[in-house]
Amino acid sequence: MDSDSDRILILSLAKAVFYICVTIALCFLFSTCTVDKGVIIQCEASCSDAGSKMKSVTARECECETGASIEARSNPWVLP
């Protein structure tokens, strides 16, 4: 009797985990991670107005970087 109830419990948990994983996979599949071209242009313009350059842009934020911090960063591809 216990083995039947244990088996049913394990199967139910396995189904629940499977459905949760499928739901998460579908959410990732249908979500869009694109950045509109207008957002990139606006971020670039905002950074250049502030006297810096665009570091990165996402759908939610725009990061600017000053020229001094760009030059201070070591680049492994450039010889000193």
pLDDT digits (tens, 9 = 90+) for 23-49: 999 888 877 677 888 888 999 898 888
pLDDT tens for 61-79 read: 888 887 666 555 666 676 6
For 51-69, give one letter per residue: b (16+ CB within 10 A) or e: ebebeebeeeebebeeeee
Integer-rounded Cα Rg, in Å, for the chain is 25
**Three-class SS state of 4:** helix
In a domain, 43, yes or no: yes
Residue-averaged pLDDT of the chain? 83
Rounded to whole angstroms, the Cα distance separating 61 from 54 reads 11
Confidence at residue 55, expressed as pLDDT on a 0 to 100 scale:
86
Q: How many domains does the chain have?
A: 1
Confidence at residue 4, expressed as pLDDT on a 0 to 100 scale:
86
Looking at per-residue confidence, does 72 or 52 come out higher? 52
In a domain, 53, yes or no: yes
Question: Which residues form the domain of 53?
Answer: 37-67
